[in-house]
Structure 1
Amino acid sequence: MSADTAVTQPPPPPPPPSSSPASSASPDGLAKTLGVRQGVVLALANMSPTVSIGLGLGMIGAIVGTGIPATYLIACLPILGIAVGYARLSERDPNAGTTYMWVRRALGPWLGFLLGWIGVATAILFLAYGTQLAGQFTLGVAAELGVDVDPLNSMDWATGIGIVWTAAIAWTAVRGVQVAARVQGILFGFAVIVVTAVCIAAFFGLGKGGAESSFDIAWFNPFGFDSTSVMAGGVLMAAYTFWGWETAFAVSEENVDRKVAGKAGLISIALAAAMFVFAGAAFQRALTPEEFAEYGANALPYLTDKMFGGQGALVAYLAMLLSTLACLQSSVIGGARLTMAMGRNGVLSERWAKLHPKFRTPAFSTYVTVGISLVLAVVGVALGKLSDVIMATVNAVGILVSFSYGVVGLACVLLFRRELRDSVRNMLTMAILPGLSGIALIALGGYMIKLNWAASDHLAFDATNGRFLVVVPMAIIILGIPIAAWNHFVRKPDYFTLPRSVDPDHTV
């Protein structure tokens, strides 16, 4: 049986939806309870566009000037193209391992494992970073409330506070993905309301600060940049603010039917793009180029304070805190499902695949993944240099994301290559969109490597050093090779030993 035959088998009918996790799951399976709405919440929370608006929009504005809306319109195109490929793959083969399993079937277990390793490494390192970020935002809220945080204004305190938040998030995630989605809806919903209100006020000049410039349709012109390098620099940053939408596919085995993940992923990207474009236009109406350059990552608190005065910055910090917590929870859910998939086909110990007897969630994977990230957060503060590695991974995650997304786009074309002539829809959604988008993202990643390397004339162990921002993601990729070799030649799990045409999970 060929790999193509395995992929093109008609899927079995999905189980009927149920509001009871126990009744909708097999004795050893995940609960199938999620619909499109929950998937959108999970994906949006992981993308966390409100945090990206708060931390990244000002930095993008400092690069592209008045081209923020056009930058995001360009950046979302390859992301949507890859998401279309994900949707077709997930509809045919809903699997918690997502790229880790799909790439195995198209390109073999070595490259599939490498993508799985990248997913696990980035999830754990991001959780360590997000833990500290949640603590910092908590201190920011406290400071705006009038609390004297000077004695607490350190990474030690920020990390300690963040650990409490992340531990609570892990406990909630284990109690069920539906519970987690409801919590995220509240946390992320508040943040969206706040950021939207600020952007509306800024766009229409309703606040105390008024408007600094008139609206110009040229802001949306993709050909209106000062130079190609300016456009590329902005698009690079903007494209990776969408990172996290794939969480909608990580829970595909918990969806009520096979099309839920694809719909949720595409809807979440479209909504995030709309938020980014509108926020970009609003920021450009209310802030001067000098303010963009000066405040950068603090543009949202500054803008909120400028528009509303008084407690404006407090509301902005609170919104970013709640959005960060929702993002952490989605990251926990996605990372735990990936390690669960690795556990059930032998790449990790089978304990990683164990489900909670009541809630039918990967409890062991959740707690151990979070535990490792918290240890890294603590050790990073203690050693200092490890924090640089964590920060460099986050700053340069675009290189890893480009590689992963790009490979999946090419894998989609290979897996469905014998179905492309069946219809125009197949050609478009199985080959043209994912294939071209995959090539574009790999090219963007390569350009990011070039820019970062050229930004410094020497290598230094510093999260702001351009060459260090190239070395760290490359080291993560290279480290996966001996780990894959140890699995292949020593542990010999099903993932490496079975033919590509056979599913080592035995789930579909």
Structure 2
Amino acid sequence: MADDSAGSRPAHDRGAGPPAAELKHDAIGFLDALVIGINSTSPAYSLAAVIGPIVALVAVYAPGVVLASFVPMLLIASAFYYLDRVDQDCGTTFSWVTRAMGPWAGWFGGWAIMMTGVLVVGSLADVAVGFGLLTVGLDGWAENDAVRQTLAVLLILVMTAICVIGTEASAHVQNALILAQVACLLVFAGVALYRVYAGTGSLDAVEPSFSWLNPFGEGGAALTGGLLLGVFMYWGWESAVNLTEEVKGSGASAPGRAGIWSTVVLVVTYLSVGIAVVAYAGPAYLAENAAEEEFIFAQLATEALGGWDWLVLLAVSTSALASTQTTIIPASRTALSMARRGALPAPLARINPRFRTPDISTWGVAVVAIAWYLVVNQISENALFDSLTALSLLIAFYYALTGVACAVYYRRHLTESLRNLLLIGVGPLVGAGLLFWLLVESVGDMADPANSYSGTSWFGLGPPLVIGIFIVLVGILVLAAQRLAGGPFWRERRGVADPVLVPGAHRGPGPGEEG
């Protein structure tokens, strides 16, 4: 495949002329992209959902596991940054892996990204609605499945409409939500730590210690389980890079920088609040209430803040609300990228001529996500949690694939400088290796039905693994249908990075080297 990454815009924008409608270039700035990347991880919700289970596994060493989970994320963020420099395509992993490793691997990378959106959007909306109702004192509505699910579906539709109306509108909503979320989290952390040192806490408080940052404190098996949860905490930061065609300064890799900085902001936030939670509640209390998942924050808010507990409830609600919207972005942009290359049905490539956003792919992701949410809820509430557990398989897969693609795509330039070797080659490969290891560990863990939320066997396996296998099988069927339809996409060959765009490289011949 002749490498056509010589420009700052994706390949479909060059050549015979621009298409009838394009994504709106320079729609948002670096800070907007950074906020979207942070909000996509749903910080408050992610903390609430996993801090209890992590403490149950590793006790006071939970902050160390949170820090250790950051390492593969930072290494993969480096891969996103350098790949975005040479191929600024909203399909990110799909486009990059296709260029580096061929269309089959690229297709499955894109499919994994789309399916993460389908699996998680309904759950995020459910949490946003539930905590929102608790915030305003409507506990009865929050406990009513019909009311909560109806409101969750309406919320998804509203957030999808905002995504379609425009990237600027999405960014404005995200900026407001991140301010409310971070402010609430900092108030909680500050009050909790003050009461720990003042000795006025109502639980078995423990003063923080530097030893808590040791991820190996409880041994290898506990660390593995904690890292799996940690990967979920950080997942989503790359939404900033999915907006690469719509961010100002794309030629200077502003989206890639936003992705890296979002992981840094996240690790600081997670460590600060995580230490405060463990210190105030104590490991025994958190371990006993680990099964409460996100509602552990509601309990701690009441204990630490008293009548101001609504602040933490609001933080979790706005966190899930923001992520409901931002999680649609990578799925819809990936679908758009795949469709315009001929890897998915052509209608998904339609861009609204007025709003210049991918309206059909955006609404398509939302409709499938709503259907998944409603169907799985009919099975059981635990089945919905099992579908979230299956996320770790997809996340680890496409992140690891991106890390490998970075080293492969830059393979002829890795020895040109020490920076290239470490940041573009070794780092992403180490990150990919860690994630592939976690993927294998996840499969083994999910095979046991006892490790699932449902605690039941589906075809002799745990429900999360069955859900993961189901997604792969559906993907194979869709891929087969597209392959039979033919098209130039399936004849693309592996390429290498354009030497002109390689950091620190000498100005070599133009693009077009073939692997």
Distance (Å, rounded) in 1 between the aligned partners of 2:173 and 2:257: 21
Q: CA deviation at 1:329?
A: 0.7
1:360 is aligned, of 352, 356, 359, to 356
The amino acid of 2:222's aligned partner reads: V
2:428 is aligned, of 434, 451, 464, to 434
Q: CA deviation at 1:204?
A: 2.5
Per the normalisation by structure 1, the TM-score is 0.88
Q: CA deviation at 1:375?
A: 2.7
Stretch of structure 1 that moved more, 242-251 or 303-312: 303-312
Contact 1:452 1:467 in 2 (8 A): yes
- Matching residue of 1:249: 241
The amino acid of 2:220's aligned partner reads: T
Distance (Å, rounded) in 1 between the aligned partners of 2:40 and 2:274: 20
1:209 is aligned, of 179, 196, 201, to 201
2:374 is aligned, of 349, 354, 378, to 378
Q: Any idea what SS the aligned residue of 1:65 has?
A: helix
Q: CA deviation at 1:226?
A: 2.5
Gap runs ≥5 in structure 1: 15-24
The amino acid of 1:443's aligned partner reads: W
Q: CA deviation at 1:319?
A: 1.5
Distance (Å, rounded) in 2 between the aligned partners of 1:409 and 1:163: 35
2:211 is aligned, of 218, 231, 252, to 218
Contact 1:187 1:322 in 2 (8 A): yes
The amino acid of 1:301's aligned partner reads: A
Per the normalisation by structure 2, the TM-score is 0.87
Count of residue pairs brought into register by the alignment: 480
Q: Any idea what SS the aligned residue of 1:418 has?
A: coil
Deviations 1:443-475 (A, max 9, x none): 011112223335639997569x97222222133
- Matching residue of 2:476: 481
Distance (Å, rounded) in 1 between the aligned partners of 2:42 and 2:118: 17
Contact 1:332 1:370 in 2 (8 A): yes
Distance (Å, rounded) in 2 between the aligned partners of 1:340 and 1:136: 32
- Matching residue of 1:328: 324
Gap change, CA 1:289 and 1:98, over 3 Å in 2? same
Q: For residues 389-468 of structure 1, what are the structure 2 equivalents within 5 Å? A: 390-454=384-448, 456=450, 467-468=462-463
Distance (Å, rounded) in 1 between the aligned partners of 2:262 and 2:219: 31
Q: CA deviation at 1:272?
A: 0.5
Q: CA deviation at 1:68?
A: 1.5
Gap change, CA 1:226 and 1:390, over 3 Å in 2? closer
Distance (Å, rounded) in 1 between the aligned partners of 2:318 and 2:31: 19
Q: CA deviation at 1:280?
A: 1.7
Stretch of structure 1 that moved more, 353-362 or 451-460: 451-460
Distance (Å, rounded) in 2 between the aligned partners of 1:355 and 1:243: 27
Distance (Å, rounded) in 2 between the aligned partners of 1:184 and 1:242: 18
The amino acid of 2:285's aligned partner reads: E
Q: Any idea what SS the aligned residue of 1:56 has?
A: helix
Gap change, CA 1:389 and 1:293, over 3 Å in 2? closer
Q: Any idea what SS the aligned residue of 1:213 has?
A: coil
- Matching residue of 1:338: 334
Q: Any idea what SS the aligned residue of 2:343 has?
A: coil
Distance (Å, rounded) in 2 between the aligned partners of 1:51 and 1:286: 19
The amino acid of 1:307's aligned partner reads: A
Q: Any idea what SS the aligned residue of 1:309 has?
A: helix
CA RMSD, 1 decimal: 2.7
2:189 is aligned, of 174, 196, 199, to 199
- Matching residue of 1:96: 90
The amino acid of 1:195's aligned partner reads: L
- Matching residue of 1:6: 3
Contact 1:134 1:158 in 2 (8 A): no
Gap change, CA 1:153 and 1:340, over 3 Å in 2? same
Is the counterpart of residue 347 in structure 1 residue 343 in structure 2?
yes
Is the counterpart of residue 294 in structure 1 residue 288 in structure 2?
yes
Q: CA deviation at 1:333?
A: 1.7
- Matching residue of 2:270: 276
Q: Any idea what SS the aligned residue of 2:111 has?
A: helix
Distance (Å, rounded) in 2 between the aligned partners of 1:476 and 1:318: 33
Gap change, CA 1:485 and 1:427, over 3 Å in 2? same
Q: CA deviation at 1:501?
A: 4.9
Is the counterpart of residue 180 in structure 1 residue 175 in structure 2?
no
Contact 1:455 1:466 in 2 (8 A): yes
Q: CA deviation at 1:286?
A: 0.5
Question: Quick one: percent identity of the two aligned structures?
Answer: 24
- Matching residue of 1:310: 307
Q: Any idea what SS the aligned residue of 1:212 has?
A: coil
Contact 1:141 1:317 in 2 (8 A): yes
Is the counterpart of residue 493 in structure 1 residue 490 in structure 2?
no
Q: CA deviation at 1:192?
A: 1.1
Distance (Å, rounded) in 2 between the aligned partners of 1:217 and 1:390: 37
Gap runs ≥5 in structure 2: 11-17, 498-511
- Matching residue of 1:263: 257
Distance (Å, rounded) in 2 between the aligned partners of 1:61 and 1:426: 38
Distance (Å, rounded) in 2 between the aligned partners of 1:366 and 1:453: 33
Distance (Å, rounded) in 2 between the aligned partners of 1:137 and 1:456: 29
Deviations 1:381-428 (A, max 9, x none): 4x426x665432211211221111111111111111001111111111
- Matching residue of 2:508: none
Distance (Å, rounded) in 2 between the aligned partners of 1:351 and 1:427: 41
Distance (Å, rounded) in 2 between the aligned partners of 1:235 and 1:440: 10
- Matching residue of 1:232: 224
Contact 2:83 2:406 in 1 (8 A): yes
Distance (Å, rounded) in 1 between the aligned partners of 2:39 and 2:159: 13
Contact 2:91 2:242 in 1 (8 A): yes
Q: CA deviation at 1:500?
A: 4.3
Contact 1:68 1:277 in 2 (8 A): no
- Matching residue of 1:41: 35
Q: Any idea what SS the aligned residue of 1:378 has?
A: helix
Gap change, CA 1:13 and 1:320, over 3 Å in 2? closer
Distance (Å, rounded) in 2 between the aligned partners of 1:37 and 1:168: 24
Deviations 1:53-96 (A, max 9, x none): 12211221121111122111111001110110111011110111
Deviations 1:351-379 (A, max 9, x none): 22222222211112212221222233333
The amino acid of 1:369's aligned partner reads: V
Q: CA deviation at 1:158?
A: 1.0
Q: Any idea what SS the aligned residue of 1:6 has?
A: coil
- Matching residue of 2:500: none
Contact 1:336 1:365 in 2 (8 A): yes
The amino acid of 2:133's aligned partner reads: L
Distance (Å, rounded) in 2 between the aligned partners of 1:110 and 1:116: 10
The amino acid of 1:176's aligned partner reads: G
Stretch of structure 1 that moved more, 426-435 or 201-210: 201-210
Q: CA deviation at 1:229?
A: 1.2
Gap change, CA 1:48 and 1:30, over 3 Å in 2? same
Q: CA deviation at 1:345?
A: 2.0
